[in-house]
Chain A
């Protein structure tokens, strides 16, 4: 049974600098297509740094590399990704009458797929 997590997309310094270099550069793609998880969660799920994981919800599914957060950065159960095409792929359309889709705090499933 895959575990559920809360995914928080957000801005990073590298996302900002590589965005200016171009949305089609390898660095931008790499930055916005890497998942960050807490070391505890990765150990529990048998995910090594750089392994490929599948993350999905009712909207979509993505396969991407997973890396460990720095110590103390992320509590267990939380995932982080830089804003970009991958995070938008999982974004629900519903705006709850606000105009704003739920772009942070998405419920997702996670499982390890392959060695990176």
Chain B
């Protein structure tokens, strides 16, 4: 199938329709977009949800220098040289971000970090990092969104609000679509939301269970016990806010489902208990496989954060927070994660790709970020780009740059760009930095 079809219309000198484009705003990575591009602006985004429409229709290419050093415009070559200087002179540099760029760029970022003996970390460490730790602890009984669409007759959303954060998840993958074994779509599924807040997602459910804040672990553990036939006392209601009878009925239903899935959000990972909460959910899904088929998947946020996990994992063996200073990878969340490295003042340089720690890290981490030499690659003049020692303006992945992104279920999706940007891609810039670093390392040895 052709990627783009030129439509000749006399009134519109430059009109392009890009079919099967992918939206990379959220982890659903919907790849059925039909984009209308007029004079380098996307004017229609057919099939996109409200967030996807905002992503495409607001996209414009900023008019900024290709690169700056300490805020002053410089040539691209000067900026590459300066970036190589920073990384070669650092003793403990950290590479961070990576969830909004292509897998091709992620791979080069890992390679650079390896050459300079630094730490590579991604925004996973501040979203589903605890899930990554739990996968390593207890494993993951997993499924693709295609399997969920075609088979899942019992769906539990836990600690998330997909109606607002992943608007097409319900309609494209998990709730309303008809599937091979669910010919009546929504009618063939039983859907439950477990959350502290009765969010907009609750309206789409068969059952809403309002849990007290910070009691997820206790509730999941009680469900594990009930699933195994272990007695649970009525005091569970006082602890979690959920009556025992309601919990028992839910567990009974889960055991008799044909195919179930727990789709969990950051309500589990960002709150007290963190990886213990996700370990509990993964263990519950695993336990239920003694009775029927159950799976559990995290609802991933950024468009290619799943790609970042995959690329860092197949490059180093670990998904995030990986230190490469000894020539072999070491994984230790809390030690090699960016928030901690900055907070403790341990990182002496940082390279940020498509992320904005100056907007969303704690104050102490931000204070350290402005003290050290930094390299920032971003299509926008973010708060981090504003204070960066070297800042590169980049082309936006998915809209201006082709490549690969992984959907939240680890399925790779090819990105079909809508139009060209005058700026370089993350991949091109990172490759140039890597080349310069290697030239200088080889010359020095």
Contacts and interface: CB of A to CB of B under 8 A. Distances in A.
Are chains A and B native binding partners rather than an unrelated pairing?
yes
Interface of A: 6, 8, 10-13, 16-23, 59-60, 72-75, 78, 80, 83, 85, 88-89, 91-93, 95-105
B25 A16 contact: yes
A12 B336 CA distance: 31
Contacts of B359: 23, 85, 88
A103 B360 CA distance: 10
B362 A88 contact: yes
B51 A13 contact: yes
Interface string B110-131: 0000000000010001110110
A88 B58 contact: no
Nearest to B321: A99
Contacts of B167: 13
A17 B167 CA distance: 12
A21 B362 contact: no
A98 B362 contact: no
Among B197, B359, B363, B364, the most chain A Cβ lie within 10 Å of the Cβ of: B197
> Which range holds the interface residue count of chain B?
35 or more
A89 B58 CA distance: 27
Contacts of B126: 99-101, 103
A96 B334 CA distance: 7
B275 A98 contact: yes
Interface stretch (B64-72, B98-106, B253-261, B337-345): B337-345
A75 B212 CA distance: 9
B196 A20 contact: no
B161 A21 contact: no
Nearest to A80: B197
Nearest to A6: B213
B363 A60 contact: yes
B26 to A, nearest CB: 8
B51 A16 contact: yes
Nearest to B200: A13
Interface in B205-229: 210, 212-214
Contacts, number: 138
A102 B121 CA distance: 18
Contacts of B214: 6, 105
B55 A95 contact: no
Contacts of A59: 362-363
A13 B198 CA distance: 15
Contact of A98 (B121, B333, B363): B333
Given A16-B54, A59-B363, A103-B126, A75 B210 contact: yes
B89 to A, nearest CB: 26
9 contacts: A6-B213, A8-B213, A8-B267, A10-B197, A17-B54, A21-B54, A59-B363, A88-B359, A104-B266
Contact of B165 (A11, A88, A95, A98): A11
A12 B166 CA distance: 10
Interface string B169-202: 0000000000000000000000000001111100
B272 A97 contact: no
B271 A99 contact: no
Given A20-B25, A20-B58, A78 B271 contact: no
Given A17-B51, A100-B129, A78 B362 contact: no
Nearest to A10: B161
A19 B230 CA distance: 47
A105 B213 CA distance: 7
B375 interface: no
Given A20-B54, A21-B58, A98 B129 contact: yes
B32 interface: no
Contacts of A88: 359-362
Given A13-B50, A102-B271, A8 B197 contact: yes
Q: Quick one: which of B334, B338, B364 has the most chain A CB within 10 A? A: B334
Interface string B147-168: 0000000000000010111010
Interface in B307-332: 320-321
Nearest to A17: B54
